[in-house]
């Protein structure tokens, strides 16, 4: 380990963390709730409590992705760093608690760290901790919803950007959305690269418990979305009316998370209402599982080259490295 202070040399940057305009959130939520079947974008899973719950989920025995990804960086870190090249700026997409990127600092030695996350308050708290450990690292946290567009401040040099998109978050997007996201990243890195964590197709017996654990933390994470919706939309969801459902759809190669009405439920908000029959579901998240060949092809379609991947010892998860 190099000492944190040996990493670089720029003073920390104060950054604001603008969130989505509340009205845009409200319009999006209302449209999803009135649709048939109803759906809510998984980004609404992440208010401050949702981010803390996700962090706890990563420690569950059933939730293998975080441990698999860590094993890959432990076993292949030097090779991955060589392939990634010099990272002047490390852009961490969906940074959460920033812990994964922090573990890469010694190998990648970035001069500037740019964590991006929709959960802006949680991100700011993580960055406050990080600044104490790395006083000389320039850090620019961005509270941004990158589901429709991704932008970086003009003072972040285009050269030497390495994008880091771990935790199989790319799998939350449908195939067209994943391609569009990779294209957005590619457009922002003319000479840099991308490290992306990708979950692989495997047995339902491994996949489903990872999204429906014995302690019911994932259920709490999914149900907390309703409390977040209540706060944003001024709706009156009662968490007790709903139960968590997680299923692997092998044909679509994705885990689906839903909230299912336990009884007939009427939900109201200032601009509307919806009656849900007992058993009716709200679709809250997809998590696509890939083969290495399919994800390599996706990266190449998005304009990346020199694609390599590294897997854990059980072949459950891969980290892909790609150059612009
Ligand atoms: C699955 S968690 C991964 C967290 C961390 N990177 C890891 O790998 O453990 C997804 C992260 O992406 C963030 N996120 C989800 N949707 C987002 C969006 N549309 N825009 C920005 N951040 C988003 C969440 O707040 C959360 O921190």
Instruction: Summarize pLDDT for 3-52 with one digit per residue, the tens.
Output: 333 322 233 333 444 555 689 999 999 999 999 999 999 999 999 999 99
State in Å: Cα 13 to ligand 1 middle.
22
Largest CA distance in the chain: 60
Q: Identify the residues whose C-beta falls under 6 Å from ligand 1.
A: 43, 46, 51, 54, 58, 66, 94-96, 100, 117-119, 144-147, 166-167, 169
Q: What share of the chain in percent tops pLDDT 70?
A: 94
pLDDT of residue 3: 32
In this model, does residue 155 exceed pLDDT 80?
yes
- Nearest Cα residue to atom 4 of ligand 1: 96
Condensed to tens digits (0 to 9), the pLDDT of residues 55-105 reads 999 999 999 999 999 999 999 999 999 999 888 999 999 999 999 999 999
Residue 222 and residue 284 in contact, taking contact as beta carbons nearer than 8 Å: yes
Q: Two tokens at 307?
A: 């694609």
State in Å: Cα 279 to ligand 1 middle.
29
Cα separation, 142 vs 18, whole angstroms: 8
Ligand 1 pocket, mutate which of 20, 40, 117 (most atoms under 8 A from CB)? 117
- Nearest Cα residue to atom 10 of ligand 1: 94
Cα 173 from chain centroid (whole Å): 10
Q: Which residues are within 8 A (CB) of 320 and not within 5 positions of it... i.e. 6 or more apart?
A: 194, 195, 196, 197, 198, 295, 296, 299, 307, 308, 309
- Tokens 């149900």 belong to 223
Condensed to tens digits (0 to 9), the pLDDT of residues 206-225 reads 999 999 999 999 999 999 99
Q: What is the three-state SS of 49-102?
A: HHHHHHHHHCCCCCCHHHHHHHHHHHHHHHHHHHHHCCCCEEEEECCCCCHHHH
What is the average pLDDT value for the chain, to the nearest integer? 93
In 153-215, which residue ranges form alpha helices assigned H by DSSP?
Answer: 175-187, 204-210
Q: What is the pTM of this model?
A: 0.93
């Amino acid at each position: 380990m190099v000492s944190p202070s040996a990493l670089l040399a720029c003073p920390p940057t104060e950054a604001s963390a603008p969130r989505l305009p509340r009205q845009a959130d409200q319009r999006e939520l209302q449209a999803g709730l009135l649709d048939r079947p109803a759906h809510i974008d998984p980004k609404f899973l992440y208010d401050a409590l949702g981010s803390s719950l996700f962090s706890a989920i990563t420690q569950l025995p059933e939730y293998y992705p975080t441990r698999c990804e860590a094993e890959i960086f432990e076993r292949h870190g030097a090779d991955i760093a060589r392939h990634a090249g010099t990272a002047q700026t490390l852009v961490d997409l969906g940074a959460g608690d920033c812990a994964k990127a922090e573990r890469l600092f010694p190998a990648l030695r970035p001069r500037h760290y740019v964590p991006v996350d929709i959960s802006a308050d949680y991100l700011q708290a993580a960055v406050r901790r990080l600044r104490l450990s790395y006083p000389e690292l320039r850090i620019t946290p961005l509270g941004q919803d990158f589901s429709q567009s991704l932008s970086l401040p003009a003072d972040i040099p285009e050269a030497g950007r390495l994008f880091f998109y771990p935790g199989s978050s790319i799998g939350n997007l449908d195939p067209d959305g994943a391609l569009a996201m990779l294209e957005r990243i590619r457009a922002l890195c003319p000479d840099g690269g991308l490290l992306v964590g990708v979950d692989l197709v495997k047995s339902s017996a491994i996949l489903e418990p990872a999204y429906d654990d014995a302690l019911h933390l994932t259920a709490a994470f999914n149900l907390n979305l309703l409390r977040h919706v209540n706060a944003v939309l001024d709706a009156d969801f009662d968490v007790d009316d709903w139960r968590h459902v997680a299923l692997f759809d092998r044909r679509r190669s994705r885990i689906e998370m839903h909230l299912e009405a336990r009884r007939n439920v009427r939900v109201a908000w200032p601009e509307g209402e919806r009656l849900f029959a007992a058993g009716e579901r709200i679709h809250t998240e997809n998590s696509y599982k890939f083969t290495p060949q399919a994800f390599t092809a996706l990266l190449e379609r998005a304009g990346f080259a020199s694609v390599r991947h590294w897997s854990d010892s059980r072949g459950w998860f891969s980290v892909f490295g790609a150059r612009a």
